[in-house]
Amino acid sequence: MASNRDRESKASSKGGSAHNGNDESKASSRAVKVPKGTRDYDPLQMAIREKVFGIVTGVFKRHGGVAIDTPVFELKETLTGKYGEDSKLIYDLADQGGELSSLRYDLTVPFARYLATKKLTSMRRYHIAKVYRRDNPARGRFREFYQCDFDIAGQYELMVPDFEILKIATELLDKLNIGSYEVKLNHRRLLDGMLEICGVPAEKFRTICSSIDKLDKLPWEDVKKEVQDKGLSEEAADKIGTLVVKRGKPLELLEELMRDDSPFRGNAASEQALSEMKQLFSYMEVGKCLDRYVFDLSLARGLDYYTGVIFEAVFTGTVKMGSIAAGGRYDDLVGMFSGLQVPAVGMSLGIERVFAIMEEQSSQVAVRKTQTDVLVLGIGKSLWNVVIAIANELWELEIGTEFKCVAPGKIKKNLSDASDKDCIPWVVLVGQDELDQGVVKLRNMSEKIEEEISRDGLAAIIQTRIASAACAT
């Protein structure tokens, strides 16, 4: 006899099945899609990404960077109060056992927290990972996206690490070869001095900087209205307007700002910033990157943690994309977590926008979706053992290899796919008649040249051919 518990279980199971069936029916009627602000990547897009990540990692390692990783989410208190008005874009997570956490907004604050946690006072690190922002998605702007960061933390000679970060930024953009760009450069203490000169109270510096930072997207009249809405007088706003329009070649604008009649003379913060910029520009001249930068007083970078040099690279090619890299100095951020002052300066490459530019450029060269160098193609279904044996010999030589057996009527299509879709440079054609003579056919796909090769010496010959082709390029 069934117990009450058994009957209840069966009834629950039947009820649950009917309910689940309705849910499945409703789900099947809805379109399946990725969440707003995210995307899937197909093999070709991933091949482009891997190629770009390889270039970026190479530059970072060349400058002595070591890689780290941090959790994709941090305690909410770690992220709070670091991003100014953009803090509203942080993704908060549900309470998990008493810990309030949020998805990381960038890689800089987690790096500062990492230094504080490990009690480190110096480090050259790079970090390539996903970050999350509850932003309005647009072309090149997502809610989930990669950042590529390089930072130098520790005590160094004045402006030396700042120069190297700026050099890395231009080196990266040149190596990526995506087209023309301009890098705007400024100093947060110069901005603070400017705001002080214009009569802005110190407690409003950060919020007014957030408004000024919108000048690349909004006309001055709109920004002026915003700063007045934040409590500035029209007179103070107009004074700001006469100064933020100043931009030009670094040495020329520096000379103008350091003249005796400059409004910045006599202001301690401004004079310190201009002195640092003068030293920086001398290093950039020697490092042959000064000509890539524009000294621009409208650049503010709205994040609260910047304390010194700030910069932002803007793509100026045929694709309208905006900022593609940015960064600056943040000397107080580590101290917020540990009380130990660790000066730091860094940069972040907007890699998703680089990908978007590459995808839109009509002149983008074909990128191989795989690293396969050889396709071993058996002609007939009885040759699997031979084909696998050849593929294994090539794998043991660390040669990227795929294999298959096809009917004779499918050879042409497979050769076409190997050449056009997969960009595989070499195909080994394995036929029974040739095997009986101790040979196979090796086809150079780019030159469309086919030759008979000894079966026994095949792997060594292919290895030599691949090495020769690599040397030629």
CA distance 206 to 204: 6
Where are any strands of DSSP class E within 76-178? 101-103, 123-132, 144-153
Phi, psi of 131 (to 5 degrees): -130, 170
203: burial class by Cβ within 10 Å (0-12, 13-18, 19+)? exposed
Q: Is 422 annotated as contributing to ligand binding?
A: no
Neighbours of 279 (CB within 10 A): 15
Q: Which residues pair with 269 in a beta bridge?
A: none
Helical pair 160-176 and 43-62, crossing angle rounded to 10 deg: 150
Neighbours of 169 (CB within 10 A): 27
Q: Do strands 66-67 and 123-132 pair parallel, antiparallel, or not at all (unpaired)?
A: parallel
Instruction: Please spell the DSSP secondary structure of 95-124, one letter per residue.
Output: -BTTB-EEE-S-SHHHHHHHHHHHT-S-EE
User: What single letter denotes the amino acid at residue 398?
Assistant: E
Q: Is 306 annotated as contributing to ligand binding?
A: yes
Query: Could you tell me if 403 and 414 are in contact, meaning their C-beta atoms sit under 8 angstroms apart?
Result: no
Residue 282, Ramachandran bin (φ over 0: left; ψ between -120 and 50: alpha; else beta): alpha
**Which residue, chain included where needed, has tokens 């058996």?**
378
Query: Could you tell me if 283 and 163 are in contact, meaning their C-beta atoms sit under 8 angstroms apart?
Result: yes
Q: Do strands 181-187 and 293-296 pair parallel, antiparallel, or not at all (unpaired)?
A: parallel
Closest CA to 193 of 259, 158, 233, 244: 244
Q: Is 107 annotated as contributing to ligand binding?
A: yes
Q: Is 301 annotated as contributing to ligand binding?
A: yes
Buried-exposed string 449-463: b where 16+ CB fall within 10 A, e elsewhere: eeeebebeebbeebb
Q: Is 340 annotated as contributing to ligand binding?
A: no
Q: Is 106 annotated as contributing to ligand binding?
A: yes
Q: Is 133 annotated as contributing to ligand binding?
A: yes
Q: Is 417 annotated as contributing to ligand binding?
A: no
Longest dimension (CA), the chain: 103
> Can you say whether the dihedral through the CA atoms of 189, 192, 196, 201 is positive or negative?
negative
Q: Percentages helix, strand, coil for the chain, rounded to the nearest 5?
A: 45, 20, 35
Neighbours of 117 (CB within 10 A): 12
Q: Is 296 annotated as contributing to ligand binding?
A: no
Residue list for the binding site: 106-108, 133, 147, 151, 301, 305-306
Residue list for the binding site for L-histidine: 106-108, 133, 147, 151, 301, 305-306
